[in-house]
Amino acid sequence: MNSIKIHKNIIRRIFPQSRTDWKLYFAKTMPIVIGEILFCLNGFLDNFMVTNITGGIDALTYANTYTGILYTVFFAIQGIAAMFVGQYYGKKDYDKVKQIMNLRIWMHLFVAIAFAIPSWAAGRQMIQIIGNQKIDDNTLSQSMSYLWLITISWIITSFNFNTNMLLNETGHSKYAMISATLTLLVNAAFNAIFLLGLKKPAYYAAVGSIIGACVCLMSDELLTYFKDRKIFINLLKLFHISKVIAKQILKRSLAMIITIAAMVTIPLRMVIWSKTFPDNMIEGSGIGERWMRINGVTILGLVESLSAVASAITSVCSSNVSFFVASKLGDNNFEEAEKHSHALKGFHMIAGILMSTLMLFIVLAIAYSPSTSRGTIDGVHNLFYNAKEKEYITNIFNENPIQNQQIIDYIRLNGIPKVGQFSAYDSWVENAKLLTKNTFKNTFLLCCFTFLAFNPMWCWFYTSAALPRAGGRNNIASFTILSAQWLSFLWLILIGFAIVIPLRNTSRSLSLELAFFIFYSIDFIRLIIFEVVAWKTNWKRNITNEMEKTVA
């Protein structure tokens, strides 16, 4: 009987203990979730709105791999400094909150410029590092142009990332949501004008991102000024940083570097996928037929942007731990902090389940939308009616000479027919387009089902991962993330280079969707790692006492 009671108590404490706690969690979490979804939707929006442009998804995904790396650095800096914001805000020491934010902006700006300079100077090489030397010329050109433009958005984002996060970290998530909504609407409007209305190339998607970033910064500043002026960030006073605050934050630089080294593996996954299932018309990518030109980036560029939307809850984990746990630690209320540390795990997991359920319907709608695979299908159409590709097309039909003899004879005598000139050829191309559509849809769906299934687990273990930081145990937290992330990354490298590539074009070849699932199966081990570290670490500490000791 005692063991049953113990198990019930353990289960009970991983969920909010009262109706008041449930309401409080929902009140603080939902605006952040919506805001994060809107933030992530900006990236998805760019990818989705270029699906009707041949090579559009590939072009943006190659360039936005650097955007992902940049955001990884941004989040690493924010993740370390957020707990200081939470504790000082809980202590009502607003001047120190502003000093921390000023330092964060300078750090983010330095990183953005460091990424922008090589992107301007060596755009072609930057794109080819992510993809390969055989990237289609049109895709490469669009990707380079997009990269050049999106760097402007990076610099603006070094400001609005912090102003928006400040609202979340101090409990003003509904205002952060308003800014995110305005940003998305502006981005969508300008994308619709340039991409759908004016039929501009895919790289014009960056223009909407730039304008949206400006709107986000302005709305954040206005909302902070009128709703909580005590923490308003005056962009003309960014040098207001005391030596004590600078020392307190910068002494965590090792933790930031370790976190960056860990989290950078997430955007770098796309590099491995692009090498494992490459853009290669000659040998094929391993997805469908080689002439379909569906590669790992074509599918996962869209899948990963949707995954980012679904996992918006994981971004909330850090903010919620900062607000509900770190602020209680800063007020020396350790019992309340521990209660929230357990309850947030179950709450975030439930939120992850709800998010995955909602995203399932969105994924199905996208998969069955005619526009999703339009660019890929048009690419097949243009390939087979391009007279310059006669040799390549002939080689394709020669792979099945008996079945395609009539078409082979026609091409030998007359060349590549135009639309309507040869019905047998037209029929073959239409079937090829249908096969391409189904291959794209099925691969996309199965990959999406994987991240939808794992999303609740991510919500749980990222809550556990944030707990050591709440008590200032940044090095422990960072080394844990480093170990877990590199375990995952090395697992992907093993899958790609030791299994997928050697088995390609054999009867035992591994499909993208199966490789994607096998890759994420390592998360069961990562869950155990985060739980053990959170359990063994003494994170229930008031780190604002460091300041008092320093001043004394």
Q: What is the 3-state secondary structure (H, E, C) of 112-160?
A: HHHHHHHHHHCHHHHHHHHCCCCCCHHHHHHHHHHHHHHHHHHHHHHHH
**Lookup result for tokens 């706690």:** 21
| Token pair of 37 as six digits | 């979804």
Task: Give the Cα separation of 289 and 439 in Å (integer).
Answer: 9
Is the sign of the CA dihedral 424, 427, 429, 431 positive or negative? Answer: negative
Task: Give the Cα separation of 270 and 281 in Å (integer).
Answer: 19
Please report which confidence band the pLDDT of residue 7 belongs to, taking 50, 70 and 90 as the band edges: very low
What pLDDT is attached to residue 20? 81
Please report which confidence band the pLDDT of residue 244 belongs to, taking 50, 70 and 90 as the band edges: confident
**229 class by beta-carbon count within 10 Å (0-12 exposed, 13-18 middle, 19+ buried):** exposed
Domain assignments of the chain as residue spans, ordered by start: 16-551
Does residue 129 contact residue 270 with C-beta atoms inside 8 Å? no
What pLDDT is attached to residue 214? 95
**In 494-522, which ranges are continuous DSSP H helix?**
501-503, 512-520
**307 class by beta-carbon count within 10 Å (0-12 exposed, 13-18 middle, 19+ buried):** buried
Helices (H) and strands (E) in the chain, counts: 24, 0
| Token pair of 261 as six digits | 């080294």
Q: What is the pLDDT of residues 186-221, one digit of tens each?
A: 999 999 999 888 888 888 899 999 999 999 999 999
Q: Check whether 34 has a pLDDT greater than 90.
A: no
Does residue 465 contact residue 531 with C-beta atoms inside 8 Å? no
Residues across the chain: 552
Q: Check whether 55 has a pLDDT greater than 90.
A: no
| Strand, coil or helix: 392 | helix
Task: Give the Cα separation of 318 and 128 in Å (integer).
Answer: 34
The distance from CA 460 to its chain's CA centroid, rounded to whole angstroms, is 18
Number of alpha carbons in the 13 Å side-chain half-sphere of residue 402: 0
What pLDDT is attached to residue 223? 92
Q: Which residue, 19, 40, 541, is CA-closest to 314?
A: 40
Kindly state the average pLDDT of the residues 503-509.
Answer: 77
Q: What is the pLDDT of residues 384-435, one digit of tens each?
A: 988 888 888 888 888 888 888 998 888 888 889 998 888 999 999 999 999 9
What pLDDT is attached to residue 551? 46
Amino acid in position 77: I
Q: Would you tell me how many other CB atoms lie within 10 Å of the CB of residue 423?
A: 9
Q: Check whether 147 has a pLDDT greater than 50.
A: yes
Q: Check whether 2 has a pLDDT greater than 50.
A: no
Phi, psi of 544 (to 5 degrees): -70, -15
Task: Give the Cα separation of 521 and 530 in Å (integer).
Answer: 16
